[in-house]
Amino acid sequence: MSENANPAARRRSKIAHLPEPIRSHVNELLESQTPYHQICDWLARQGHPGISDDTISRWKNGGFLDWFKAHERLEQIELKRVDASKLVQVGAQEFVDANEDITELAFYDALNRAETDSLAELINTNPKEFIALLKTFTHFRRYRLHRERFREYLRQQRRREEQESKPNGGGVRTETLTHAKELLAS
């Protein structure tokens, strides 16, 4: 894993250098709002003495927030995975539609979470990449719109065919009457 992919690897505090299971437990304790002095006592009992309340406080404002955001993203991914697996049970087309909905929502979510400054920086430093991203999304939306229009056309076609194949009031189908009229006209 690269250093950029692992926020704890970039950090230099005493907590960042703890073994991952210990660091994760410290994060869980912070998440449950355990007082700093209790966390320091727990760390000392685990063989990591000398970590102060100030160290814990700084970690809470840095490394813990990185962990918390990553933890939240993983939970969201897991929820989407569970939802998608439930949708598999309803049918293939519904699953495809659901995946496209999830993709669209993820794109909107990413844009909404982007900070204005970082978005502006992306546009200024690499406008082609940003434009390509927007074009991709636009094409995706256009594809979905065309497909939905085509589905509606097929639904209307099926309704017309069903209407035409139903017997009319006298028990003769519309297509039979049409054929008979053609024969009489010739």
Percentage of the chain with pLDDT > 90? 26
Cα gap 90→45, rounded to integer Å = 52
Of 91-105, 111-125, 149-163, give the range with the top mean pLDDT: 149-163
pLDDT over 90 (residue 95): no
Condensed to tens digits (0 to 9), the pLDDT of residues 65-83 reads 988 988 888 888 888 778 7
Q: Where are the domains of the chain?
A: 1-89, 116-186
- The model carries a pTM of 0.45
Residues near 48 by beta carbon (within 8 Å), at least 6 away in sequence: 14, 18, 22
Greater pLDDT, 159 or 112: 159
